């Protein structure tokens, strides 16, 4: 088992090194490495399902307790397998995505390297190893975001991503220090120490998880990270790395039990709604998806806080498949239109129907349309949140939002108004295969709930009639909110007349009722109603615009302001540096020089003055001696 | 075979031989310097092999020098000495390979480098206070000439400042040494004995004054804010190898002294002022990072990060001196501090080489004038990124375990200090990424588009350092098992 | 000498001595000053005599009569206006010099007067002049010899300085060039 | 009646006069005279002590001899110096000697 | 030791002792012989051969140093001549230093005075001055002390004014003369009071009387004594003549003044004060410590703006007096004071002579002693530059040069004597001194050649002196053991 554990980390790493070493053979090497890397996690998963547990570590620092190692248990096996699966798909997709890129070796090696450290993070045994991989994952992420040399947003995005997550990592450090200081151990599964130290541990870990998972108010880095190549976004910023925060919460359940998890839940619930609003207002497809990711991760936080590990991990898995699929499909459109701007992408789905099919399937899954995968997992979260009304409301709002923000790009993609051009790109087959795989996964992953519960030996997943009902209603409301106000009735009618949506939507039973509803609303021709309905989304829209504005201006500016404040402070201290201390020292030198010049005046060259001064000096000495002798 | 004395003496003798080399043989100084350093390295390797990690001060070589004052040539190693001596040799090999001033290495430059090397080794290995002090000051002179002769535009000013500050630091140390000498009965300069006997243990004002004298001296060398103002000037104006050695080796003199003298010989006094020292270290760490953030000159930026990193060392040492600390925390803190010195030497050495190469290629180190360098210089750029990430404490690279150990040790006694210190890692991350973003990413202007990538000579000088800090980052016990402060740090 | 005789000689002699000494620096004539100094120091010999130091007193009179004559010669040779006909002022910074000197004199006098000096052991008379001889030829022999060396030194040195254009008919050496001025 | 303090006071006054000469006179010769007076004051002190405190202090007698010698030799060298300087600079005024300073 | 002579028996006894004690006076005798024979030779030898006198006097200086060593090793210490001359560690060390330094100065002077009109007498004057300097340090009697002070002064006045056609030399000698005689007269006045308090001019007797004597009189007389010896040692506030005299005097004479006559004054202080004021009477150690602090501070500060290297060295030597005086100040409080004094004196002699030798070499070639004259020296004369750097760094006190161990010793003594504040002031001063020492070293080492210059005729004696003193500067530090042992064994017969 130990060998398998290390292989899980080692194989992708080896692959990365090989690809880096032989860039001309990047493609075959990547494929081989990707496939090989997927094997050990699967074996591990089987073993874990079989009840096998293993750890393999060594003493990394001489002090007792500071070991570093990997472990196999149910949680790590499950997440590791997810990572491996998504990783495999994304890597194969990438082979196609980067087919025309002459620096593909770098990108592929980067992805493989990321896969290695991500597996390390998942399999890490103890908080020290977790921290090591946690930081490495962040660095790998920054490197991959900054991959593009043409996009002026890439470098700043990478920097912001790394800095934001690292700031949050201070929490991890502090938690680790506090934990070790209090218990002398950094092993998983400990209870939280009491007192202030325990509070530090709790807060620190939650903050770290928030940073990694882009939870409010630290979510801004995620949209900046979209400047990276799309496969990177798919792998890192939707499916795996950002889920590390959720993983940390689940992993640390025993440490965080109680108020820290409540805090996490609140953060998650708020983020779920806020990020949904942000997603709704983005004009860039990938940024929409980024907002959606943050929102879904918020749901996972709620799940972890309210429902326990199985709930969160279940959603993690289904979301990973769906969101990665969305990104991969977005990547296809991006290749088609050489952009991810929604205006540019208008009609791209119609031009590339296969990709759009995958996109739509995954979107429906994320939007929690039954019986697709994410419906089930999200339903459990909703059910788990039911006892806490506030969370419950927020979760439902976000569910509605998810339908809205996914429907909007879907509509645009399917619009006819687009340019209708498709760039012939190499490697399409790889890419479409990837999209297809994940779309399929999004359809079927819903069955994983029960096995997961058994694997994790968790209590049965919560569910309730109310939650199912409201879960069903929420997306519909969300979809309506999009369909009604954003389509002027005339346009909508024409679109309906032309069967604009029919071809697409008929295939998806879930959207049909929505469309029917919209038709009914139009048929009612009730201006008041129209207006009333119109009025509902308006505040939402305003809110989302506000949030986006906050995102772009407020929070970003706040972050920038902090940074600028730091820089200003730095400049200030630099000024102090140059003017203050240094000047003091230099001033001292000047003073010495000046007193030297003054002392030259004593040496006037006039002998009688010398003599007189000598006499006075001698007298002074005598007086001093007399004073000391007499006292 | 007196291996340690050999390691010190060979560079010094070679330095003395440098003026005698024939002027015609242009390569001779370089080869001589390399050969001498190789001998030193070999002698240290033998020592490393013979070193018993379980014991404290060992392999002591001893010869009478001035018996009247009980001054001896006394050199020996414990974990800290050995680790830092090894670091010294490594950095000198790199510096000699890289060169100073005009190429090939002139006789004078080779002589100064070798003199500096011998003196630095003597300092780390000395077990006699006079040898210790002599070495301390000889490094000062050699470095002064290195800066003043082969430095950059304002080299005179910087060299003078360096000389001045270091002298201000070294003279109180001399007073402290004398005070220790006089309080020991019988009078002795033997550091091993002084550490064992602790003649000033428990004595109030005197011990505090002596502590203060040593502290000022080492604080200037380390440097601790506000005694650091010599550092940016010296680092910026020094030639590349000079900066490397200054940051990589000479700053360690201060940290080494703090541990060797203040902590080992004056633990009582240190315990009294531990929190104050730690706060100074904390201020250094944060202040250094903040000031570095505002720099546009790459060398200045690196220089200030040295203040930051050495601030961690000071915090660790202070924590180890505090009364409330557990044995485990103590060892963690000191192990971490020593490892941090080693790691910082390797990483910052690399960084200064990087800055030197940059200046040589582009004629400027002003980050505002640079952009997109990764494109013409991918290998170099990757090296820069690697070194930057190492310096900001990324796991897997050498400074992470060191800083983590310091944090762990410090948290044991002052959680608040440790927690605030951790904030420093964010600022360093910010400043390095800013620099990376500014100079290495984005569009590349035409004038920078055709820069040659890393040359072989440069790669040979820098690669060993990079390899070492990666290896140390992956498996820090390679050095930590040797350092093993538990075996030589007397329990306080 | 009895106390009375001492007093009779001492007071006038001391007054004269100090008066002439003071007048040395008041007169505007170099020659007069020299003669006054001669007088002052000669009278000091008288004071010595009054204080029962016959040997020293006579020696002082002898020395001064020789030395001061030489001094007068020098003054006549080298001084502007040696006769003091123009009444030139030879002082500078007179007030401050005077106040410093007065302060020092008063200070020393006060300390001297207030100090409880060792008293003469009663009943022991001063030894006769031979004792000085024994002192010089015994205990202070080496000092005496060294005094001789000093006189030799002064002679050689005095000649060296005073006589330009030495034995070999070459001029005295000029200065080394120091780079700031021309010698 | 004469007593030791009287003698010493006279010595102090004489010393002061000599010092005044040394400080206040512009001419080197006059300064030398001041020095002579200072030395004379020292002699006077010793003679006073010999009379009133230490009649057996023969070393004091020798000390006076030494001082007399000093007066002679210092004057001799001093005059020689003045001669030398006067030849070259045509002046023996102390106030003219201010090239060396600072 | 008799406080007074005065009887026939005493005289007879003294004569017997004198004969038996002659070996102890051998170093003094050698110098006396050197002086007398030098005068004879100066009168008799033809002009071309006057240089031989230099060899003779220089040789006898070395012989005196050798004899001092012989006395030390073979005869031990003794208060001779009824205590008027004290031959002990202090005296013999001074004799050794004076012997060797005098020889070095003669070597330096040889090219300056060669062929001049009074060459032979010049060497004779050096011999006289050295003799007087040794006497000054050896004097155990006020009379001899006054004589020796005056004789040292007179001989060096003449040497300073030797270049008679130089206005600067004239001025220097006049100033030096007047300052010296006035200070000497003041000392004589002070000594007269000591006689009054003790009834004898023997410092031994004075030392028995002064502790119980009225304080005011003791203080006043001691202050007057300090004026005399302090001027010789160039202590503030009696230092004013120093820069002017060094500046005007021939360079070898300036070197001589800065080493021989200064050390003689300091050694005399070290002898007289503990002898006459035993056990820190009237707190003189503190007073000396204060003077030391003021001296080093003023010397260093005043040296900073100097551009004339000779004046700079003059102020530097004032500062060095301050450091040496730390040893004197520690005499009562610590056993380490005397060894520190002796070692520092030796180290200082070697170092300062090396510095003056370099300056003289530069002056001979470039006809200037301005800082600019040192520019680019390293390219033209690497060995000179090495000597310059080594000697100036030694003056600064950098290890492992002689000056460092000197500082180590005096700091040790000061701290041991509970004068740590003085050591702290000395430390600050060392830092200040860095400014001006580097001001000379830096242009010499760092600047490139300014213009091609004709190389001066090489003067073998100067080169030899330069080599010897530089090697000594290094060797006294690296191989300090013999000298330190010697200093450690230096004892004073009376006093501390």
Contact E298 A607 (CB under 8 A): no
Binding-face residues of E in 192-211 toward D, CB within 8 A: 192-193, 195-196, 199-202
* Window from B31-45, D18-32, E130-144 with minimum mean pLDDT: D18-32
Measured between CA atoms, how close is E52 to chain B, in angstroms?
Answer: 37
Contact A607 D19 (CB under 8 A): no
C39-54 residue pLDDT tens: 899 999 999 999 988 8
Chains B and D touch, using 3 or more CB pairs below 8 Å = no
Q: What is the DSSP string of E111-162?
A: HHHTT-TTHHHHHHHHHHHHHHHHHHHHB-BHHHHHHHHHHHHHHHHHHHT-
CA-based nearest residue in chain D for residue C6: D2
Q: Does residue C178 surpass a pLDDT of 80?
A: no
In chain A, count H helices and then E strands. Answer: 30, 3
Contact A612 C96 (CB under 8 A): yes
| A612 close to C (CB below 8 A) | yes
Residue % of chain B over a pLDDT of 90:
60
Nearest to A83 by CA among A204, A198, A203, A247: A247
Contact D28 E150 (CB under 8 A): no
Mutation pick from A16, A57, A60, A63 vs chain B, by most beta carbons of B within 10 Å, is A63
* Window from A61-75, B97-111, E66-80 with minimum mean pLDDT: B97-111
Binding-face residues of E in 118-157 toward D, CB within 8 A: 141-144, 146-147, 150, 154, 157
Tell me what pLDDT residue C179 has: 64
Contact A605 D102 (CB under 8 A): yes
Mean pLDDT of chain C: 82
B454 and B379 in contact (C-beta within 8 Å)?
Answer: yes
Q: Does residue A497 surpass a pLDDT of 50?
A: no
CA-based nearest residue in chain A for residue E228: A618
Contact D64 C117 (CB under 8 A): no
Tell me, letter by letter, the H, E, C secondary structure of chain B.
CCHHHHHHHHHHHHHHHHHHCCCCCCCHHHHHHHHHHHHHHHHHHHHHHHCCCCCCCEEEEEEEEEHHHCEEEEEEECHHHHHHHHHHHHHHHHHHHHCCCCCCCCHHHHHHHHHHHHHHHHHHHECEHHHHHHHHHHHHHHHHHHHHHHCCCCHHHHHHHHHHHHHHHHHHHHHHHHHHHHHCCCCCCEHHHHHHHCCCCCCHHHHHHHHHHHHHHHHHHCCCCCCCCHHHHHHHHCCHHHHHHHHHHHHHHHHHHHHHHHHHHCHHHHHHHHHHHHHHHHHHHHHHHHHHHCCCEHHHHHHHHHHHHHHHHHHHHHHHHCCCCCHHHHHHHHHHHHHHHHHHHHHHHHHHHHHHHHHHHHCCCEHHHCCCCCCCCHHHHHHHHHHHHHHCCCCCCCHHHHHHHHHHHHHHHCHHHHHHHHHHHHHHHHHHHHHHHHHHCCCCCHHHCCCCCCCHHHHHHHHHHHHHHHHHHHCCHHHHHHHCHHHCCCCC
Q: How confident is the model at residue E101 (pLDDT cuts 50, 70, 90)?
A: very high
CA-based nearest residue in chain B for residue A566: B290
Q: Does residue B464 surpass a pLDDT of 50?
A: yes
Contact A615 D19 (CB under 8 A): yes
Cα separations in angstroms, E431 against A586, A592, E279, E312: 14, 11, 33, 16
A461 and A306 in contact (C-beta within 8 Å)?
Answer: no
Tell me what pLDDT residue B479 has: 92
Please report the beta strands in chain C, taking only residues with DSSP state E, as ranges in sequence order.
none
Contact E481 B67 (CB under 8 A): yes
Tell me what pLDDT residue C66 has: 78
Q: Does residue B441 surpass a pLDDT of 90?
A: no
E195-250 residue pLDDT tens: 999 999 999 999 999 999 999 999 999 999 999 999 999 998 899 999 999 999 99
Binding-face residues of C in 28-67 toward D, CB within 8 A: 30, 33-34, 37, 40-41, 44, 47-48, 50-53, 55-56, 59-60, 63, 67
Q: What is the DSSP string of A217-242?
A: TSTHHHHHHTTS-HHHHHIIIIISGG
Tell me what pLDDT residue B174 has: 93
Contact E215 A626 (CB under 8 A): yes
| C113 close to E (CB below 8 A) | no
Q: How confident is the model at residue A523 (pLDDT cuts 50, 70, 90)?
A: very low
ipTM, two decimals: 0.86
Binding-face residues of B in 306-345 toward A, CB within 8 A: 328-329, 331-332, 335
Contacts of E385 in chain B (CB under 8 A): none
Measured between CA atoms, how close is C87 to chain D, in angstroms?
Answer: 14
Tell me what pLDDT residue A420 has: 60
Which of C114, C136, C146 is nearest residue E144 as measured by Cβ atoms? C146
Contact E367 C150 (CB under 8 A): no
Q: What are phi and psi of B104, to 5 degrees?
A: -70, 170
Tell me what pLDDT residue B219 has: 93
E286 and E326 in contact (C-beta within 8 Å)?
Answer: no
Mean pLDDT of chain E: 91
Contacts of E47 in chain C (CB under 8 A): 167-168
| C157 close to E (CB below 8 A) | yes
Contacts of C138 in chain E (CB under 8 A): 5, 10-15, 82
Contact B175 E415 (CB under 8 A): yes
Contact C103 A608 (CB under 8 A): no
Chain A: partners with 3+ C-beta pairs within 8 Å: B, C, D, E
* Window from A78-82, B100-104, D45-49, E257-261 with minimum mean pLDDT: B100-104
CA-based nearest residue in chain A for residue B386: A139
- The Cα–Cα gap between E2 and E24 comes to 19
Contact A599 E435 (CB under 8 A): no
Which of E393, E412, E446 is nearest residue B141 as measured by Cβ atoms? E393
Contacts of C79 in chain D (CB under 8 A): 27, 29, 92
Chain C: partners with 3+ C-beta pairs within 8 Å: A, D, E
Contacts of A609 in chain C (CB under 8 A): 93
Contacts of A615 in chain D (CB under 8 A): 19, 23
How many CA atoms lie less than 13 Å away from A25 in the CB half-sphere?
Answer: 10
E336-363 residue pLDDT tens: 999 999 999 999 999 999 999 999 999 8
Beta bridge partners of D27: D93
Measured between CA atoms, how close is E179 to chain A, in angstroms?
Answer: 7
Tell me what pLDDT residue B81 has: 94
Is A601 strand, coil or helix?
helix
Tell me what pLDDT residue E100 has: 96
Q: Does residue A582 surpass a pLDDT of 80?
A: no
Mutation pick from D6, D70, D76 vs chain C, by most beta carbons of C within 10 Å, is D76
Report residue E126 as tokens. 């050096």
Chains D and E touch, using 3 or more CB pairs below 8 Å = yes
Q: Does residue A29 surpass a pLDDT of 70?
A: yes
* Window from A80-84, B85-89, E3-7, E164-168 with minimum mean pLDDT: E3-7
Q: Does residue A558 surpass a pLDDT of 70?
A: no
Contact E147 C164 (CB under 8 A): no
């Amino acid at each position: 088992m130990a060998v398998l554990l290390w292989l899980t980390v080692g194989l992708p790493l080896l692959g990365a090194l090989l690809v880096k070493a032989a860039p001309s053979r990047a493609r075959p090497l990547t494929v081989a490495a990707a496939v090989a890397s997927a094997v050990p996690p699967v074996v591990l998963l089987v073993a874990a399902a079989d009840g096998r547990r293993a750890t393999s570590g060594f003493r990394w620092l001489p002090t007792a307790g500071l070991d570093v190692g990997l472990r196999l248990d149910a949680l790590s096996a499950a997440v590791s397998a997810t990572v491996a699966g998504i990783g495999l798909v994304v890597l194969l997709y990438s082979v196609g995505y980067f087919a025309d890129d002459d620096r593909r070796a770098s990108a592929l090696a980067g992805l493989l390297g990321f896969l290695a450290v991500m597996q390390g993070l998942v399999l890490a045994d103890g908080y020290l190893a977790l921290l090591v991989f946690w930081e490495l994952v962040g660095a790998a992420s920054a490197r991959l975001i900054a991959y593009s040399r043409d996009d002026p947003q890439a470098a700043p995005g990478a920097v912001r991503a790394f800095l934001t997550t690292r700031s949050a990592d201070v929490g991890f450090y502090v938690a680790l220090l506090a934990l070790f200081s209090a218990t002398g151990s950094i092993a998983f599964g400990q209870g939280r120490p009491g007192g202030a130290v325990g509070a530090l541990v709790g807060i620190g870990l939650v903050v770290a998880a928030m940073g990694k998972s882009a939870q409010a108010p630290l979510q801004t880095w995620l949209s900046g990270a979209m400047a990276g190549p799309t496969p990177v976004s798919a792998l890192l910023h939707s499916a795996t790395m950002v889920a590390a925060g959720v993983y940390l919460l689940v992993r640390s359940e025993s440490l965080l039990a109680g108020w820290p998890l409540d805090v996490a839940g609140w953060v998650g619930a708020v983020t779920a709604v806020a990020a949904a609003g942000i997603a709704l207002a983005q004009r860039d497809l990938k940024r929409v998806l980024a907002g959606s990711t943050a929102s879904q991760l918020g749901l996972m936080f709620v799940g972890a806080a309210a429902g326990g590990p199985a709930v969160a991990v279940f959603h993690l898995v289904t979301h990973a498949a769906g969101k990665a699929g969305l990104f991969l499909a977005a990547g296809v459109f991006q290749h088609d239109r050489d952009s991810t701007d929604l205006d540019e992408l208008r009609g791209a789905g119609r031009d590339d129907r296969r990709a759009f099919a995958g996109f739509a399937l995954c979107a429906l899954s994320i939007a929690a349309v039954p019986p697709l995968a994410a419906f089930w997992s999200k339903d459990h979260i909703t059910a788990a949140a039911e006892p806490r009304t506030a969370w419950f409301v927020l979760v439902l709002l976000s569910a509605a939002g998810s339908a809205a923000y996914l429907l909007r790009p879907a509509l645009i993609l399917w619009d006819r108004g687009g340019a209708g051009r498709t760039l012939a790109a190499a490697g399409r087959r790889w890419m479409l295969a990837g999209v297809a795989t994940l779309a399929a996964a999004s359809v079927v992953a819903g069955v994983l709930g029960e096995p997961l519960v058994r694997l994790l030996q968790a209590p049965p997943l919560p569910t309730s009639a109310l939650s199912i009902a409201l879960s069903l209603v929420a997306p519909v409301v969300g979809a309506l909110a999009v369909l009604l106000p954003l389509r002027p009735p005339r346009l909508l009618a024409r679109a309906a007349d032309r069967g604009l949506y029919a071809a697409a939507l008929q295939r998806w039973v879930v959207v049909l009722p929505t469309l029917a509803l919209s038709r009914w609303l139009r048929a009612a021709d009730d201006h008041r109603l129209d207006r009333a309905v119109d009025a509902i989304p308006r505040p939402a829209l305003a809110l989302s615009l506000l949030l986006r504005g906050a995102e772009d201006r407020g929070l970003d500016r706040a972050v920038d302001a902090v940074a600028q404040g730091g820089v200003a402070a730095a400049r200030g201290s630099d000024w102090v540096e140059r003017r203050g201390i240094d000047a003091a020292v230099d001033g001292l030198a000047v003073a010495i020089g000046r007193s030297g010049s003054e002392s030259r005046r004593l040496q006037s060259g006039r002998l009688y003055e010398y003599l007189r001064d000598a006499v006075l000096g001698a007298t002074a000495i005598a007086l001093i001696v007399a004073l000391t002798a007499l006292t | 075979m007196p291996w340690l004395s050999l390691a010190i003496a060979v560079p010094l003798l070679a330095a003395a031989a440098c003026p005698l080399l024939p002027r015609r043989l242009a390569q001779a100084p370089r080869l001589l310097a390399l050969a001498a350093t190789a001998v030193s390295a070999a002698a240290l390797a033998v020592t490393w092999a013979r070193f018993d990690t379980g014991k404290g001060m060992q392999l002591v070589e001893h010869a009478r020098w001035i018996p009247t004052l009980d001054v001896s040539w006394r050199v020996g190693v414990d974990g800290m000495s050995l680790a830092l001596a090894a670091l010294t040799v490594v950095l000198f090999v790199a510096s000699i390979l890289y060169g100073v001033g005009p190429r090939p290495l002139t006789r004078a430059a080779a002589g100064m480098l070798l003199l500096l090397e011998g003196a630095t080794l003597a300092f780390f290995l000395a077990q006699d206070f006079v040898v210790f002090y002599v070495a301390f000051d000889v490094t000062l002179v050699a470095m002064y000439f290195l800066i003043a002769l082969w430095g950059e535009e304002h080299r005179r000013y910087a060299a003078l400042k360096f000389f001045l500050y270091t002298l201000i630091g070294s003279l109180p140390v001399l007073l402290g040494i004398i005070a220790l000498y006089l309080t020991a009965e019988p009078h002795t300069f033997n550091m091993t004995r002084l550490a064992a006997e602790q003649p000033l243990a428990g004595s109030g004002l005197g011990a505090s004054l002596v502590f203060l004298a040593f502290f000022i001296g080492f604080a200037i060398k380390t440097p601790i804010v506000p005694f650091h103002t010599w550092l940016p000037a010296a680092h910026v104006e020094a030639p590349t190898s000079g900066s490397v050695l200054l940051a990589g080796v000479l700053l360690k003199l201060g940290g080494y002294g703090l541990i060797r003298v203040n902590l080992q010989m004056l633990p009582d006094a240190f315990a009294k002022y531990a929190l104050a020292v730690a706060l100074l270290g904390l201020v250094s760490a944060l202040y250094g990072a903040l000031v570095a953030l505002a720099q546009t000159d790459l060398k200045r930026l690196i220089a200030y990060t040295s203040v930051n990193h050495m601030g961690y060392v000071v915090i660790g040492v202070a924590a180890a001196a505090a009364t409330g600390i557990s044995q485990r925390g103590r060892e963690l803190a000191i192990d971490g501090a020593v490892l941090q010195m080693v790691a910082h030497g390797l990483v910052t050495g690399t960084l200064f080489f990087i800055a030197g190469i940059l200046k040589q290629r582009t004629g400027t180190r002003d980050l505002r004038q640079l952009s997109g360098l990764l494109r013409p210089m991918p290998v170099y750029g990757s090296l820069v990124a690697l070194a930057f990430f190492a310096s900001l404490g990324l796991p897997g690279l050498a400074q992470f375990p060191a800083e983590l150990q310091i944090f762990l040790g410090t948290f044991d006694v002052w959680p608040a200090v440790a927690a605030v210190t951790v904030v420093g890692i964010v600022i360093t991350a910010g400043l390095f990424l800013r620099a990376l973003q500014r100079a290495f990413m984005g569009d590349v202007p035409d004038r920078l588009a055709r820069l040659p990538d890393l040359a072989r000579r440069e790669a040979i000088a820098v690669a060993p350092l990079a390899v070492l800090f990666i290896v140390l980052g992956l498996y820090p016990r390679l050095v930590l098992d040797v350092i093993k402060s538990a075996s030589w740090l007397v329990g306080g | 000498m009895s106390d009375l005789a001492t007093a009779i000689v001492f007071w006038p002699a001391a007054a004269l001595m100090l008066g002439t000494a003071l007048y040395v620096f008041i007169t505007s004539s170099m020659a007069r000053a020299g003669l006054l100094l001669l007088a002052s120091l000669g009278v000091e010999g008288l004071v010595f005599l009054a204080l029962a130091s016959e040997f020293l007193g006579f020696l002082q009179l002898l020395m001064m009569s020789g030395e001061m004559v030489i001094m007068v010669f020098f003054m006549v040779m080298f001084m502007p206006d040696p006769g003091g006909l123009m009444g030139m002022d030879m002082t500078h910074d007179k007030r401050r010099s005077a106040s410093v000197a007065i302060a020092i004199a008063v200070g020393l006098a006060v300390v001297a007067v207030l100090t409880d000096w060792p008293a003469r052991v009663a009943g022991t008379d001063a030894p006769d002049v031979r004792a000085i001889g024994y002192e010089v030829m015994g205990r202070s022999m080496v000092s005496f010899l060294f005094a001789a060396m000093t006189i030799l030194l002064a002679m050689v040195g005095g000649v060296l300085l005073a006589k330009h254009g030495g034995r070999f008919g070459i001029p005295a050496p000029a200065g080394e060039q120091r780079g700031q001025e021309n010698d | 009646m004469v007593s030791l303090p009287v003698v010493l006071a006279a010595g102090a006054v004489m010393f002061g006069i000599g010092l005044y000469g040394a400080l206040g006179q512009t001419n080197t010769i006059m300064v030398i005279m001041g020095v002579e007076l200072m030395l004379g004051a020292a002699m006077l002190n010793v003679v006073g002590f010999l009379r009133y405190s230490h009649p057996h202090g023969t070393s004091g007698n020798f000390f006076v001899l030494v001082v007399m010698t000093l007066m002679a030799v210092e004057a001799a060298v001093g005059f020689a110096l003045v001669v030398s300087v006067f030849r070259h600079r045509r002046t023996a005024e102390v106030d003219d000697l201010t090239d060396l300073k600072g | 030791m008799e406080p007074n002579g005065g009887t026939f028996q005493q005289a007879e006894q003294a004569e017997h002792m004198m004969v038996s004690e002659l070996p102890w006076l051998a170093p003094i005798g050698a110098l006396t012989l050197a002086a007398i024979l030098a005068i004879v030779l100066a009168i008799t030898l033809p002009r071309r051969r006057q240089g031989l006198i230099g060899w003779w006097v220089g040789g006898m200086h070395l012989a005196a140093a050798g004899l001092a060593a012989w006395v030390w090793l073979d005869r031990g210490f003794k208060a001779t001549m009824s205590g008027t001359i004290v031959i002990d560690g202090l005296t013999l060390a001074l004799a050794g230093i004076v012997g060797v330094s005098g020889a070095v100065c003669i070597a330096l002077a040889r090219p300056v005075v060669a062929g001049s009109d009074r060459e032979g007498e010049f060497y004779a004057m050096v011999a006289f001055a050295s003799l007087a300097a040794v006497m000054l340090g050896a004097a155990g009697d006020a009379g001899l002390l006054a004589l020796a002070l005056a004789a040292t002064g007179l001989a060096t006045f003449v040497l300073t004014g030797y270049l008679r056609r130089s206005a600067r030399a004239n001025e220097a000698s006049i100033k030096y003369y007047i300052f010296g005689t006035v200070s000497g007269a003041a000392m004589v006045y002070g000594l007269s009071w000591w006689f009054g308090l003790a009834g004898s001019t023997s410092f031994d007797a004075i030392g028995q009387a002064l502790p119980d004597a009225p304080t005011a009189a003791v203080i006043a007389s001691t202050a007057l004594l300090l004026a005399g010896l302090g001027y010789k040692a160039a202590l503030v506030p009696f230092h004013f003549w120093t820069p002017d005299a060094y500046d005007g005097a021939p360079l070898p004479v300036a070197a001589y003044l800065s080493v021989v006559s200064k050390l003689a004054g300091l050694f005399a202080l070290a002898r007289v004060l503990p002898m006459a004021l035993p056990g820190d009477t009237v707190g003189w150690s503190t007073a000396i410590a204060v003077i030391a602090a003021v001296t080093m501070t003023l010397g260093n500060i005043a040296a900073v703006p100097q551009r004339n290297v000779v004046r700079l060295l003059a102020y530097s030597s004032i500062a060095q007096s301050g450091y040496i005086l730390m040893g004197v100040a520690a005499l009562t409080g610590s056993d380490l004071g005397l060894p520190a004094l002796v070692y520092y004196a030796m180290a200082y002699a070697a170092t300062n002579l090396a510095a003056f030798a370099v300056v003289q070499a530069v002056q001979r070639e470039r006809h200037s002693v301005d800082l600019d004259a040192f520019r680019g020296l390293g390219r033209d004369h690497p060995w000179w530059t090495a000597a310059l750097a080594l000697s100036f760094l030694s003056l600064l006190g950098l290890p492992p040069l002689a000056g460092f161990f000197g500082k180590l010793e005096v700091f040790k003594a000061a701290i041991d004597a509970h004068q740590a504040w003085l050591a702290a002031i000395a430390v600050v001063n060392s830092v200040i001194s860095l400014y001006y020492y580097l001001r000379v070293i830096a242009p010499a080492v760092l600047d490139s050649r300014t213009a091609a210059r004709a190389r001066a005729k090489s003067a073998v004696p100067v080169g030899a002196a330069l080599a010897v003193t530089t090697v000594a500067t290094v060797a006294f530090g690296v191989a300090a053991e013999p000298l330190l042992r010697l200093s450690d064994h230096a004892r004073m017969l009376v006093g501390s």
